[in-house]
A = this chain, B = another copy of it.
Amino acid sequence: MTIQIRKLDSRQPDFQETLDALLAFEASTDEAIEQAVTGIIAQVRARGDEAVLEYTNRFDRIPNGGAQSMAAFDIPQQELDAALAALPEKQRLALQTAAERIRLFHERQKQELQGFSYTEADGTVLGQRVTPLDRVGIYVPGGKAAYPSSVLMNAVPARVAGVQEIIMVVPTPDGVKNQMVLAAAAIAGVTRVISIGGAQAVAALAYGTETIQPVDKIVGPGNAYVASAKRRVFGTVGIDMIAGPSEILVICDGSTDPDWVAMDLFSQAEHDELAQAILLCPDADYIAKVEASIAKLLPAMPRQDVIRTSLTDRGALIQVRDMAEACAIANSIAAEHLEISAENPQQWAEQIRHAGAMFLGRFSSESLGDYCCGPNHVLPTSRTARFSSPLGVYDFQKRSSVIQVSEAGAQTLGKVAAELAYGEGLQAHARSAELRLKQGV
């Protein structure tokens, strides 16, 4: 079975239109899911543990007639530690190496955001305090798409931020636990693991139940039910972004082994049929070589069906006029992952304004970043890199302004505030400022 991947040329008159259509992705809303989630959340708010227990037994097909109480869903620390100890040594070491590198990178983020304070001439002190969230929930999907790397990427930044309670929920369909996920929880410093999932787990984390304290923020990926539930509890708790399909954009100058670029495109495409993998290159001959590599390498890939669908439906090999145009197009795409596989990649990186993560040079394959470089693999998708950032320590911190006005400061600031408050028709604001004036007004 061959593969036909779309080839575009930026010189074509309809290029922009074609590209826009290719990039367009709007998450559809399934009314049945929305209604189901509304019901589940209402039940969990009204009946707490009882509802969570019922839904979990039913949806996750908990064996032996289901669990009798919520306590059965708590996975104790010893079980996490045992899962870690039982991993093959190479896997355990790889997980520990990845966690340590992720921690190191995120410590830099923490160092950068320390808050500040300064004192003005009249003694007035102004500042900003940075404090961690008290308690967060991390959603980890169960079943096939259970990724230990995601446990690390979500939990380690929370831990570095100083969050005291990190509650991980992970469903165990048919009662089956993913040992590598439990091991990752042990390494990442998760403080409690509960084997529940779905909208019922999101509702329990957001509103609390008899056995689960409500959290301040919920992060982590999930299916359509989980995404819908997160949207609905937003405001009561914080949430991370609702992620769209994963994307890679490779800018290549035509000097990288075409097999490498083909495999990099595969590594995104294998995630799911909706994933998007695009190559931008000024060299038509090189594009043909990548196309040949794709055809050659695809049959050996275990996930070739997913890759083929993704590349056929949403992929593209695009010939551009030059590398500068490639950078301009990359800015309009604002990709989740951007590889600049080129000589002296820094010169092109300087022209990039929007990307979730940039991978510079031929050796920086996205897959290294997905697992163990250190930066987070939870990144803004669907052009949201125009205005949002990778998941980071800052997502588990918040700022408070600190204002301590001196008596002298109140004299000058009070007049300014009163003038503006009267201008806005807010007289109590004005009087509140004026009462602090020595020569009362």
Contacts and interface: CB of A to CB of B under 8 A. Distances in A.
A380 B398 CA distance: 10
Interface in A413-439: 413-417, 419-421, 423-433, 435-436
A75 interface: no
Contacts of A413: 368, 372-373
Interface string A133-170: 11000000000100111000000000000000000000
A242 interface: yes
B371 A428 contact: no
Interface stretch (A47-55, A93-101, A281-289, A313-321): A93-101
Q: Is the interface of A mostly helix, strand, loop or mixed?
A: mixed
Nearest to A257: B435
Contacts of A427: 270, 301-303
A401 B375 CA distance: 6
A112 B114 contact: yes
A38 B405 CA distance: 46
Contacts of A415: 94
Contact of A148 (B105, B109, B398, B424): B424
Interface stretch (A5-13, A64-72, A196-204, A384-392): A384-392
B108 A400 contact: no
A245 to B, nearest CB: 13
Nearest to A356: B400
Contacts of A108: 116, 118, 128
A405 B363 contact: yes
Contact of A435 (B260, B345, B390): B260
Given A180-B423, A427-B270, A435-B260, A368 B403 contact: yes
Contact of A235 (B216, B235, B242): B242
A400 B337 CA distance: 10
A401 B307 contact: no
Leading 9 A-B pairs by shortest Cβ distance: A375-B401, A238-B387, A266-B428, A94-B419, A357-B401, A389-B399, A363-B410, A360-B404, A367-B429
11 contacts: A98-B420, A108-B116, A126-B374, A131-B353, A133-B387, A144-B425, A148-B424, A238-B384, A361-B405, A363-B436, A364-B405
Interface of A: 27, 90-91, 94-95, 97-98, 105, 108-109, 112-116, 118, 124-126, 128-129, 131, 133-134, 144, 147-149, 180, 216-217, 235, 237-238, 242, 257, 259-260, 263-264, 266-267, 269-271, 301-303, 307, 345-346, 349, 352-376, 379-380, 382, 384-390, 392, 394, 398-407, 409-410, 413-417, 419-421, 423-433, 435-436
